[in-house]
Amino acid sequence: MNDDFKDIGAMIESKNSIYIVPHIMMDGDAMGSAAALCRALRKKKKTAWILTEDKIPDNLMFLDEGLTTDDAEKIESPDLCVLLDCGEESRYPKRKDAVAKSGKIICLDHHATSKAVFDMNHIDTEAAATGEIVYDLLCEMKVDMDKDIGEAIFAAITTDTGNFQYSNTTRRSHEIVAELYDLGIDHNKVSIEIYQSEPVEKIKLHGMVLGDIKIFGEGKAAIAKVTQDMLRKTGARMEDSEGLVSKLRDIKGVEIAALLKEQPDGEIKVTMRAKEYADVSKIAQKHNGGGHVKAAGCSLNCKTEEAQDIIENEICRELEDKRHNKYR
Amino acid sequence: MNDDFKDIGAMIESKNSIYIVPHIMMDGDAMGSAAALCRALRKKKKTAWILTEDKIPDNLMFLDEGLTTDDAEKIESPDLCVLLDCGEESRYPKRKDAVAKSGKIICLDHHATSKAVFDMNHIDTEAAATGEIVYDLLCEMKVDMDKDIGEAIFAAITTDTGNFQYSNTTRRSHEIVAELYDLGIDHNKVSIEIYQSEPVEKIKLHGMVLGDIKIFGEGKAAIAKVTQDMLRKTGARMEDSEGLVSKLRDIKGVEIAALLKEQPDGEIKVTMRAKEYADVSKIAQKHNGGGHVKAAGCSLNCKTEEAQDIIENEICRELEDKRHNKYR
């Protein structure tokens, strides 16, 4: 059962030193909603920090103006921890002690995998972004929102909705953004920061990977790989493979796209996307991974070629399965 | 002076056979706003056709369900012509007779280059898309809007705002889209049609081109080329180079991006983009081209290597010029 914003707001108001804990491998929603909440709490004269355990992606650094710390001792005994866009220990492994030592724990999330197991919880899978939940909470708490808070919420919503194109986008997403304009947000500046600041090495890596796509499953599937050798040749990092799997999915006729990422230790991380009707989370779960119906991932411990065979077979099976169900 | 929607609506109500004329080289806004208006007029039992003079782009074909014709005799003597997203004869050259023979002409547009010289005009440069103007007109006319009309308006707005990221996007853009959700639009389906139907040959071409970018001008400029040989190797068409120059501009630190396109006859078409402060229209004009400050192009009659030298020099000069002006 979800706690309502009034009760969550009251709990937050009663606390003074607060950690905000977004998930590892932060995306725009994690960082954006955390930045918005952190700024709001500081406006209310709370001691508030976003506690991180890994690097903030370069294109989200503009959201962090002295808001983050990776020092779990920054607050000696936090009254409260707010888990944001994140409801499982595996999403904050190195911060679990800091979370555990907090007086109370609130979880605000929109992932179906999060369970309402904390002191207070608001998990709304209908929200396109955790940023929407934070926005509604800040409204309820009558926070005097400003341009910076607005831009952080905009960053959260625009990234998690794929610029308002994904099926998770709702009427409410647009209503909230319309309201953010009243705060004077510079949505174009946010977009330039997030999308027009690509390292050239990343662009070169994308070029190399996209030059070598395999289409299979009667044109309904696409697969490509990022190897350590490609990273060496382009000077890119594995994080720069971000966005590639969507480009594979964007190919006409492709329903399932997969990207194989060869890790330094030889492990193969697999990222998958479905376009309209297939379920890639089924494939991921079979190999101890997870995710959503249309976006999921897993890891395989084998050679790249072997991993490719396994994943191609799984994809063909899923496509076959859906084909049968369609005509049933 | 703009005519108001009430008067424009009354004029439309009084007419029966109507041509809708969007600009040549249709984009999502031209086709989307035309489709919405055409469907609305037919709902009102008018004879209405979108009159075209060139091919509808593949990714916009889904908007045309028997709405378009390239036969200027389809309506013998049209009572009315509505110019959409288009206010200059150069934007409908082969249709100028059909427009001229229409009883009345209304111009609905958001381009600053359009002048209010027709029988009735509504030119609103604050509107992010002509689709927004059409939406407001249809509301005023109390058209019983449906899902199809809504999806056409969504297509218009989402493409002309760069998925709500460009600086032209306003609070109103989001408000309108929020209202479109009430019509039951499937925004994700529209996005899949527009953006997720890329020919695999195009993706491969992009890969090949992006794998060979040159960065120069102290990291502030990027240039790449598309040769006939690359088209042969990937099976792509020159139109598939669309979107490449934006990817060059999106590179961190890059202010000016240029793409050289080798035509079958050896001519080199140059497409340029600026990110924040440079003016690429200056370079284009010098070589008998044209465009906007941040998006312009021209043609050169020389070998690719020579063209590349010329353009690189021009870009360095423009960057140098802006550097001086900055510190003046």
B197 at A interface, C-beta within 8 A: yes
Closest chain A residue to the Cα of B224, Cα to Cα: A204
Q: Cβ–Cβ of B158/A170 closer than 8 Å?
A: no
d(CA A188, CA A190): 5
Interface check for B295 against chain A (CB to CB < 8 A): the answer is no
User: How many beta carbons lie within 10 A of that of residue B168, not counting itself?
Assistant: 17
Extended strands (E) in A178-322: 214-216, 221-226, 256-262, 268-274, 290-291, 295-300
Residue of B nearest to A188 (CA): B167
Q: Does B89 touch chain A (CB under 8 A)?
A: no
Residue ranges in chain B modelled with pLDDT below 70: 326-328
CA A261, CA A283: separation in Å to the nearest integer?
Answer: 16
Partners of residue B188 in chain A, C-beta under 8 Å: 165-167, 169
3-state helix, strand, coil in chain A (%, to 5): 45, 20, 35
SS3 of B175, please?
helix
DSSP E strands: which ranges in A52-160? 68-69, 80-84, 104-109, 120-123
Pick from A198, A209, A252: CB nearest B250: A198
Q: What is the pLDDT of residue B328?
A: 44
Is the Cβ of A218 closer than 8 Å to some Cβ of chain B?
no
ipTM of the complex: 0.88
Cα within 13 Å of Cα(B38), Cβ side? 26
Query: For the stretch B24-53, what's the b/e string if a residue is b when 16 or more beta carbons lie within 10 angstroms of its beta carbon?
Result: bebbbbbbbbbbbbbbbbebeebebbbbbb
Q: Give the nearest chain B residue to A59 (CA atoms).
A: B252
Note whether A171 contacts B181, CB cutoff 8 Å.
Answer: yes
Q: What is the pLDDT of residue A328?
A: 44
- Average pLDDT for residues A14-21, to the nearest whole number? 98
Q: Do B211 and A207 touch (CB under 8 A)?
A: yes
Does the pLDDT at position A77 exceed 90?
yes
Give the pLDDT mean for A30-36.
98
pLDDT band at residue A147 using 50, 70 and 90 as cut-offs: very high
Nearest CB among B200, B215, B250 relative to A215 is that of B200
Q: How far is Cα A199 from Cα B248, in angstroms, rounded to an integer?
A: 10
Average pLDDT over residues A134-159: 98
Q: Average pLDDT in the A56-62 region?
A: 94
For residue A237, the model assigns a pLDDT of 94
**Chain B residues 4-43 with CB within 8 Å of chain A:** none
What is the pairing mode between strands A290-291 and A295-300?
antiparallel
Predicted local distance difference test score (pLDDT) of residue B152: 98
d(CA A326, CA A255): 14
Tell if the CB–CB gap between B174 and A170 is shorter than 8 Å: no
Contact of B232 with chain A, judged by CB distance below 8 Å, is answered with no
Chain B interface disruption, residue of A183, A198, A203, most B CBs within 10 A: A203
Contact A197 B170 (CB under 8 A): no
A283-290 — which CB contacts under 8 Å span 24+ positions?
A283/A311, A283/A314, A283/A315, A283/A318, A286/A314, A290/A113
Cα A237 from Cα A60, distance rounded (Å): 17
Smallest Cα–Cα separation from B29: which of B85, B103, B107? B85
Average pLDDT value over all residues in chain A: 95
pLDDT band at A326 (very low <50, low <70, confident <90, very high): low
Residue A113 to residue A73: CA distance in whole angstroms: 29
The answer to whether B126 faces chain A, any CB pair under 8 Å, is no
Residues of A in contact with B248 (CB under 8 A): 203
What pLDDT, in 10s, does the model give residues B59-116? Answer: 999 999 999 999 999 999 999 999 999 998 999 999 999 999 999 999 999 988 888 9
**Contact residues on chain A for B151, CB-CB shorter than 8 A:** none
Q: Please tell me the distance from the alpha carbon of residue B156 to that of residue B158, in angstroms, as a whole number.
A: 6
Q: A203: which chain B residues are within 8 Å (Cβ-Cβ)?
A: 210, 213, 247-248, 250-251
A96/B contact by beta carbon, under 8 A: no
Residue B78: alpha-carbon gap to chain centroid? 26
- Asked whether the beta carbons of B308 and B260 are under 8 A apart, the reply is yes
CB contact under 8 A, A206 and B204: no
Q: Does B294 touch chain A (CB under 8 A)?
A: no
> Given A58, A171, A210, which is nearest B204 (Cβ)?
A210
- Name residue A291's beta-bridge partners: A296
Verify whether the Cβ–Cβ distance B210 to A192 is below 8 Å: no
End-to-end Cα separation, chain B, in angstroms: 40
Cβ distance B203 to A213 less than 8 Å, yes or no, reads yes
Amino acid at the residue A84: L
Whether chain A has a CB inside 8 Å of the CB on B91: the answer is no
| Helix-strand-coil split of chain B, %, nearest 5 | 45, 20, 35
Instruction: Report phi then psi at A290, rounded to 5.
Output: -165, -170
**What mean pLDDT is predicted for residues A113-140?**
96
Please give the structure tokens belonging to residue B175. Answer: 């408000």
| Nearest-by-Cβ selection for B188 from A165, A207, A213 | A165
Q: Which of B158, B149, B88 is nearest to B116 (CA)?
A: B88
Report pLDDT for B8: 98
Residue A327 has pLDDT above 60, yes or no: no
Residues in chain B closer than 8 A to A217 (CB atoms): none
Residue in A325, A203, A304, A210 with CA at minimum distance from that of residue A257: A210
pLDDT at A323: 84
Q: What is the largest CA-CA distance in chain A?
A: 61
Q: What is the pLDDT of residue B65?
A: 95
Q: Can you give the pLDDT at residue A274?
A: 95
